[in-house]
Amino acid sequence: MLKFFYNAAPNPMKVALLLEELGLPYEAVPVDTRKGEQFSAALLAVNPNAKVPAVKDGDVILFDSNAILLFLAERAQRFVCTDLHSAQRAQTLSWLMFIASGIGPFSGQSVHFRHVAPEPKVYALNRYDYEAHRHWQVLEDHLANREYMVGQAYSIVDMAFWAWARLLPYVLGTAEATWQRYPHCKRLLDVVAARPAAQAAEALRNRHAFKTELDQEAKKFMFPQNERLGPAPTAGL
């Protein structure tokens, strides 16, 4: 049976959504990154980069959420255009990678510098808040005249979109004002969220009690780069 290594973050959730849409039987293996479980031998054997999501299906090993989406959808011949010469295929790859290389990283850094990073952080937060908004505006403009991200039907690009759009008020720190600024993104979010598979994916997120405290132990595992900073300098030296 397919093993799915996951936590409640956006990237694993997009894979959870596809697994539910495909009706694939799978074993959900929770990985609590705030407890350091991403460094376990079991996960490193599947993803040497110590990240989730990751998938092991017999001798098939996959990591990186968008690679997983593309591989599983193509294998099933569902939720993706497989005509290598078509304009729709080109658009699918372009928007999938836009979410992978733009929406995800800039949204993630906006979260980090808004909610986690210590002061001073004005410059970094300004940069990533600006870029997060800029990327989401690209999606907002794209969705203004179309029902789905690509073509006329629901696809893995919409699944990748859904995973991040669910958290957009938190990403941008704008609460309900978020959807006044991005109404077309909210429309598509609601369309996907109403699907039974999306509700099943959300239920998976709540199946395991992941650690929520961002204590010193969690920071050690999630932000190991901080060890390079060393102790704070002593006043007067």
Domain ranges in the chain?
A: 2-79+200-211, 87-195
pLDDT band at 112 (very low <50, low <70, confident <90, very high): very high
How far is CA 127 from each of CA 18, 114, 131, rounded to the nearest angstrom?
32, 11, 6
Pairing status of strand 60-63 against strand 2-6: unpaired
The Cα–Cα gap between 51 and 129 comes to 24
Mean pLDDT of the chain: 95
The answer to whether the 2-79+200-211 and 87-195 domains have the same CATH topology is no
pLDDT at 231: 64
How far is CA 76 from each of CA 29, 71, 105, 171, rounded to the nearest angstrom?
22, 9, 28, 33
Q: List the structure tokens of 147.
A: 């029902």
Summarised one tens digit per residue, pLDDT across range 21-75 is 999 999 999 999 999 999 999 999 999 999 999 999 999 999 999 999 999 999 9
pLDDT at 237: 36
Amino acid at 58: G
Which residues sit opposite 6 in a β-bridge?
Answer: 30
Summarised one tens digit per residue, pLDDT across range 173-228 is 998 899 999 999 999 999 999 999 999 999 998 899 999 999 999 989 999 988 88
The 26-30 sheet, strands edge to edge: 26-30, 2-6, 54-57, 60-63
pLDDT band at 80 (very low <50, low <70, confident <90, very high): very high
Other C-beta atoms within 10 Å of 31: how many? 24
| CATH number, span 2-79+200-211 | 3.40.30.10
pTM reported for the whole predicted model: 0.94
pLDDT at 229: 81
Summarised one tens digit per residue, pLDDT across range 126-145 is 999 999 999 999 999 999 99
Length of the chain: 237
Confidence check: pLDDT of 236 > 80? no
Confidence check: pLDDT of 235 > 60? no
pLDDT at 176: 82
Angle at 182 between CA 179 and CA 183, to 5 degrees: 70
Domain 87-195 fold is Glutathione S-transferase Yfyf (Class Pi); Chain A, domain 2 (1.20.1050)
